[in-house]
């Protein structure tokens, strides 16, 4: 797995796991050995993990048949996975993805190193609350000029903008207002057999412009040229339509 993954954090974790598991030997007759393991009331809570590991060790899979049966699941948070994929794709292929006009920019993730909050109570010595963590900030110096947020949701309705959850729009307006950044990109995985052309929404009575685009994940991801090209085209579209007004739009901190 260390040879497959491109993510440096994953390689580090896999290397650490490899070191931890070096002393472990898998018996040649693993099935017979595993059959001897029994669980008590004290160890019963580990049985689910044990049964899942057994499937991996024996190269088995769950067969769904009629009637009641017990199975074990390995669940991933697809929202976090899509966000991490988009972030890693941009960071690892920055030169190939960002427009040439942005070559001097800085890319920050999860809102940057300094925590940022949405609101502050009007009490004496009250601390701000409701931390905001946009997936990606693209900045010139210390000022963000584009917020990118990845959403693992399907845009399926026609017109496409009707698929966008209102909560996501409210969230993007909050990000843009707090960070004084009028340009926001909402990035979604593309539904199979669809083709969503990038578009933008102008927020009423506001300089905020919300771009909407999709990435096609229905392609071999071990060869990234196609999806890198798509991401580059999306950011090129954003650059051409970007709201770069020089008016004083936001109150200073």
Q: What is the DSSP string of 133-177?
A: --SEEEEETTEEEEEEEE------SSSGGGGS-HHHHHHHHHHHH
Which whole-number Å values give the CA distances from 159 to 186, 193, 196, in the listed order? 16, 16, 10
71-100 as b/e: b if 16+ CB within 10 A: eeeeeeeeeeebbbbbbbbbeebeeebbee
Query: pLDDT tens, 23-45?
Result: 877 777 778 888 888 999 999 99
Query: pLDDT tens, 40-57?
Result: 999 999 888 888 888 878
Residues with Cβ < 8 Å from 79, sequence gap 6 or more? Answer: 151, 152
Residue 63 has pLDDT above 80, yes or no: no
Mean pLDDT for the chain overall = 85
Query: pLDDT tens, 6-18?
Result: 667 778 888 888 8
Report the DSSP beta bridge partners of residue 132.
116
Residue 72 has pLDDT above 90, yes or no: no
How confident is the model at residue 112, as a pLDDT? 76
User: pTM of the entire structure?
Assistant: 0.75
The domain segmentation of the chain, as residue ranges, is 78-241
How confident is the model at residue 248, as a pLDDT? 39
Query: pLDDT tens, 168-216?
Result: 999 999 999 999 999 999 999 988 877 788 999 999 999 999 999 999 9
How confident is the model at residue 4, as a pLDDT? 62
């Amino acid at each position: 797995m260390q040879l497959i993954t491109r993510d440096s954090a994953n390689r580090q974790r896999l290397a650490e796991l490899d070191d931890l598991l070096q002393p472990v030997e898998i018996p040649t007759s693993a099935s017979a050995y595993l059959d001897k393991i029994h669980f008590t009331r004290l160890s019963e809570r580990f049985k689910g993990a044990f049964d899942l590991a057994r499937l991996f060790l024996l190269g088995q899979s769950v067969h769904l048949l009629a009637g009641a049966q017990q199975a074990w699941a390995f669940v991933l948070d697809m929202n976090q996975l899509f966000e991490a994929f988009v972030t890693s794709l941009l960071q690892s292929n920055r030169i190939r993805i960002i427009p040439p006009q942005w070559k001097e920019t800085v890319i920050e993730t999860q809102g940057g190193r300094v925590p940022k909050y949405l609101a502050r109570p009007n009490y004496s010595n009250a601390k701000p609350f409701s931390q905001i963590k946009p997936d990606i900030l693209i900045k010139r110096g210390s000022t963000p000029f584009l917020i990118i947020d990845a959403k693992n949701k399907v845009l399926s309705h026609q017109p496409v903008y009707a698929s966008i959850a209102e909560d996501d729009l409210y969230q993007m307006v909050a990000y843009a207002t707090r960070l004084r950044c009028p340009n926001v990109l909402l990035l979604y995985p593309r539904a199979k057999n669809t083709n969503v052309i990038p578009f933008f929404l102008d927020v009423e009575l506001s300089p905020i412009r919300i771009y909407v685009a999709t990435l096609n994940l229905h392609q071999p991801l071990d060869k990234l040229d196609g999806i890198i090209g798509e991401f580059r085209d999306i950011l090129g579209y954003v650059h051409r339509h970007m709201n770069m007004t020089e008016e004083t739009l936001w109150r200073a901190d």
